[in-house]
Amino acid sequence: MLPNPGFDYLGQFRSMRIPIVAFLIFLLSVAIQAQDSRSLEIGLYNDNWGGGFTSIYDDLRTYHLQVDYEKRQKLRIYGRVSFLTNRFDTDSSHQRSLDEWSAGVAVPVFKFKQGETGIFWLRSGLLARTSIVGRSIQNAVHDLLDIDEPNLPYYDTDGVHPSIGYQLELNLLDMPLSNNSSMTVRLSHTLDYTHNYSTIASINARMTRGRPGHEIEFSPGYVFADNQLENNQLLRNVLDAESGPRLGIRVNRNRIFYDFQIFPEGGFSYGGIGINLLRGKNSEGNIDPGVGIRGSVLGNSYGYSVQYSFLSKNAFNRNMSLIVNHGYHTILKKSLPVSPVVSAHASQITFGAEMQLLPKRESPRKIEPFVNLSAGHKFISLYSGVMPDEETISHHFILNTDQGVEVNLPLNFISKSWVPTFSIFHRLMVLGSLTPDKESGLVNPDNSPYRTYQSAVGVGMRL
């Protein structure tokens, strides 16, 4: 249902949406035809995918699509479409939503030692705040996943804002390691001024280990963000949440990447997964980087799981490896009361081992059954606003076991040398409460997140 039946949505779509989309399509077409391209990344982000490092607001920058293209040391093109909400503001008149579209380019104006030690980039672009599709997409997804639909009204006015800024990058360390890998440390400082909208400055250190296409990155930093849009508490709250210390964690594996952005001071985080459509030749192939990663989606509202496997050995003529399982999810409304309005999320980390059930052989099988067992810690947090009440955070011992099969399936249309491994499995979880006095009574007793035995079916891909 449209928030304002008398508003000229068709006119707004024609006047603002089409030029922005056409501009992005033009930029991407130029990028795809470039001969010495470095990367073209498309990523989808959501605050529900923040890794469980903070509370899951389902608010503020609730989801966004991001496109980044770079022609090595010559040109950068970037675009982002975000949906912003302010559902938990104490003043109901500020409980609004906003679509945010931005695109821009960056060009190098100075290179230190031909770019070996650093580059200074100039940035320029446009940002449009609109009221067309963000809310409809969120409501459709929430309805599909059985999550409450905020259905917040849009602001009455839209607008376009030009932006200008710069980015300074310095290479502090580039140290070769074994197996054609390396460790690099880069320092980056960025400043973007968007007229009558915002000023955002950041500084961060990016520490990377691995080889192109098989890397893990840690990016600690600090963000300063100032709202300059009058009478818009929504943007002020978003920028406040995305200010202060920031930690980025990113994993690149073949063409796939995922990352978490964590703002501990504001108690906010989001995560994303995406694909690099253009990739250098030196990152092709299934080179073993020493750490296996399996990303999974679990049914029965158990969200997402990322498994890291390492120290693979031969035991009982079968392949065995140590594993770390990191799981996180929003607790859906079927486990929560209708009134009062309560949100909840859970996060867990377990340590254990995984074993293939069939004897090891030189050539990999198309289908490989496996089982694993791990144990660790899980916490469950219930809260009525954007900040959790400490009294509702409960801690649990958790025993976790997966039983399933992995399937090696070549995807020649993506890369002839990359054979990803898909998996389907059943997960059984056994919980033991460590803090029974912290378990909230505001749950559905027939589907309580605190119950001892829980299970789910998962599908995943080894990256």
**Mean pLDDT value across residues 207-223:** 90
- Picking from 274, 327, 331, the residue whose alpha carbon sits closest to that of residue 305 is 327
Domain boundary among 281, 307, 322: 281
Across the chain, mean pLDDT equals: 84
Residue 159 clears pLDDT 70, i.e. is over it: yes
Same domain, 310 and 425: yes
Same domain, 131 and 213: yes
* pLDDT per position as a tens digit, 374-390: 999 999 988 765 555 55
Residue 27 clears pLDDT 80, i.e. is over it: no
Same domain, 238 and 107: yes
The per-residue pLDDT for 415 is 55
Binning pLDDT at 50, 70 and 90, where does residue 35 land? very low
* pLDDT per position as a tens digit, 427-449: 999 999 999 988 888 788 888 89
**Mean pLDDT value across residues 209-234:** 91
Number of Cβ atoms within 10 Å of the Cβ of 433? 15
Same domain, 295 and 277: no
Q: Which residue has the higher pLDDT, 112 or 384?
A: 112
Same domain, 133 and 199: yes
Find residue 262's DSSP bridge partners: 247, 269
The per-residue pLDDT for 101 is 95
CATH of the domain at 408: 2.40.160
The per-residue pLDDT for 78 is 94
CATH of the domain at 213: 2.40.128.140
* pLDDT per position as a tens digit, 246-271: 999 999 887 889 999 999 988 889 99
In a domain, 203, yes or no: yes
Residue 327 clears pLDDT 60, i.e. is over it: yes
**Mean pLDDT value across residues 192-214:** 93
Residue 68 clears pLDDT 60, i.e. is over it: yes
Same domain, 310 and 200: no
Residue 228 clears pLDDT 50, i.e. is over it: yes
Could you list the residue range(s) of the whole structural domain that residue 181 is in?
Answer: 9-281
Same domain, 331 and 255: no
